[in-house]
Chains A and B, each alone.
Chain A
């Protein structure tokens, strides 16, 4: 019975082999090889076409169009388009508010990136050390949760938390015997308040990324280092940190891009829907926010496009610098 079955199976395999051979032979006879290759490519591009079309329509085209209009006087509501050369950029560079927004963005980024790296790496290390996989799963979930909530919704909650009179933030400060702060109503504390919200929202993602990076460090390396008398800090500094450098680099690039582009939380927390986002006294007017206001409040679309281009160039330069540093400092196995 079983032997018969197996015979059948072998038989059908043989047949399919024969079948394939016939097809190959037929193809070879009627079509030149190069034609087949071309056909294969056409099919491949044809299959890619829908995705490419979407990508082009919603990504490359707007990006290219943005560069185009930054050299024109262009308005969405009028058909008059006039080439103005670098005039938009000239206006921009003579705008104190533009420079102010870049400084604000830089300040925001310069605080956010180290804070992101150290907090998320710290939390990842704690999660890795302190919890068995089951409990760890709960905490990983808990940490990741904020990241999947809509930032506009949670930012509104943070507006409540930072309310100077009845918010949780000042309550905590009072509990710690620290002076209360004006938070979003203060020129100095509005941006830090936004930073806290952004960190809370984004850390989960970076913690997960760092956990993945840490799990790639072989446990035995750490054990050997321990046996060699290395204490915790030395193990971290000389073994873990260099070995997770690709992850750290990835997190730095990712968070640089997302901080320079930060918009929703700033807009929501500084009173966006009611107008006047970016205050008080422009202290939270970052580059991205200014682009939005220039385009959609003041309707200077070309100027906003020019501004975006500058923003793009800044991110590009930062990323190139990071790449150069990484080539020298990041250890890839």
Chain B
């Protein structure tokens, strides 16, 4: 098992900057998810960690030893690809044992280890089958088994669940969590599915356009997004973000007729110019009467969707540009189309970002004090 350090890791393809100065320290046994939209450089980062791709610049170390120039075959990492990449001409047993045989593990031990892993992943009955005779979930388990049978120092997975149907994906996700808690191998897991990242990972690395935006626990990422990208990317749907001018009143702060905040936010807003980006998650909005300490929002309802367990309200603030609002409300909220709605949110749910740099201003920390 290993600790992995990325120090200013950068990757160019030709003149395209694909991964930019990534700094990341992955602890021994930790489960880290790389999360970001398509094309943001997750796979490229993972492949550099594996040694399948050379770094353009920066340093990569395993347990403090620089491995920039160590070939992939000497790194002892197990990897699961999105397409599984099972050897199509070999049966399950041969697929599982190929790596051990490559590393010259004695035959008797190979059998023992393959059978143990097969039992762990419920593949014992399938050892004679070729990959094309397996179901998607079974193939996925073979790919997992092949990666762990070599007892790797590091376990790398590139969207391992994305080829499975929704049911199977949930089940395999639980299996992965179980497997990790059992083996405690340092794991880097690439996904663009935030649900997977939030449920599986100890820490999440949120990336966009080759750049790391935030590294943190699922709770930190969700509750303290460092910028508007993370705020809008995490959550389903993502955070409401409104860039609005603000003004001081006698005992509150307002933005036109659509937003009212307690006066305590003044110290945060002072560092901005006349406008700031305000953020509130849809699930933190409600139709209850706000008190002095809470935040009040007015909007016009456009679409109301009933989901049984909740109601999704899509509306617009009545400010300039009519910014969109999404709210996840109690199922018994009665709202009609076109109606003007007053919503409230606890002041702890408000995020404020600099409207120029998009970076977070320390609101909640302030409120918590």
Q: Which residues of A contact B (CB under 8 A)?
A: 218, 220-221, 223-231, 234, 238-239, 242-243, 331, 333
The reply on B72 being an interface residue by CB < 8 A is yes
Q: Which residue of B lies closest to A232 (CB)?
A: B73
Contacts A224-B79, A333-B132; is A229 near B85 (CB within 8 Å)? no
Measured CA separation A218–B83 after assembly (Å):
10
CB distance from B338 to the nearest CB of A (A): 27
Is there an interface contact between B87 and A223, defined as CB atoms closer than 8 Å? no
Is there an interface contact between B102 and A243, defined as CB atoms closer than 8 Å? no
Is there an interface contact between A227 and B87, defined as CB atoms closer than 8 Å? no
CB distance from B51 to the nearest CB of A (A): 8
Measured CA separation A148–B78 after assembly (Å):
47
List 8 A-B pairs, Cβ < 8 Å: A226-B73, A227-B51, A227-B77, A228-B102, A229-B76, A231-B73, A242-B89, A331-B89
Pick the contact of A226: B52, B78, B150 (CB < 8 A).
Answer: B52
CB distance from B305 to the nearest CB of A (A): 30
| Total number of B residues with any Cβ neighbor in A under 8 Å | 25
The reply on B103 being an interface residue by CB < 8 A is yes
Q: Which residues of B contact A229 (CB under 8 A)?
A: 73-74, 76, 99, 102-103, 150
Contacts A242-B89, A243-B88, A243-B89; is A227 near B72 (CB within 8 Å)? yes
Measured CA separation A238–B76 after assembly (Å):
20
Is there an interface contact between A223 and B85, defined as CB atoms closer than 8 Å? yes
Q: Which residues of B contact A (CB under 8 A)?
A: 50-52, 71-79, 81, 83, 85, 87-89, 98-99, 102-103, 132, 146, 150
CB distance from A333 to the nearest CB of B (A): 6
Measured CA separation A242–B73 after assembly (Å):
21
Please give 17 more A-B residue pairs, beta carbons under 8 A apart, in addition to A220-B83, A221-B85: A218-B85, A220-B85, A223-B52, A223-B81, A227-B50, A227-B75, A227-B79, A228-B73, A228-B98, A228-B103, A229-B74, A229-B76, A229-B102, A229-B150, A230-B102, A331-B89, A333-B132
Among B71, B76, B102, B150: residue with most chain A CB under 10 A: B102
Q: Which residues of B contact A224 (CB under 8 A)?
A: 79, 81, 85, 87, 146
Q: Which residues of B contact A218 (CB under 8 A)?
A: 83, 85
CB distance from A255 to the nearest CB of B (A): 24
Is there an interface contact between B89 and A227, defined as CB atoms closer than 8 Å? no
CB distance from A313 to the nearest CB of B (A): 34
Pick the contact of A239: B52, B76, B77, B87 (CB < 8 A).
Answer: B87
Pick the contact of B98: A220, A225, A231, A331 (CB < 8 A).
Answer: A225
Q: Which residues of A contact B83 (CB under 8 A)?
A: 218, 220
CB distance from B109 to the nearest CB of A (A): 15
Measured CA separation A229–B153 after assembly (Å):
13
Among B75, B76, B89: residue with most chain A CB under 10 A: B89
Measured CA separation A231–B103 after assembly (Å):
9
Q: Which residue of A lies closest to B94 (CB)?
A: A238
Q: Which residues of B contact A221 (CB under 8 A)?
A: 85, 87
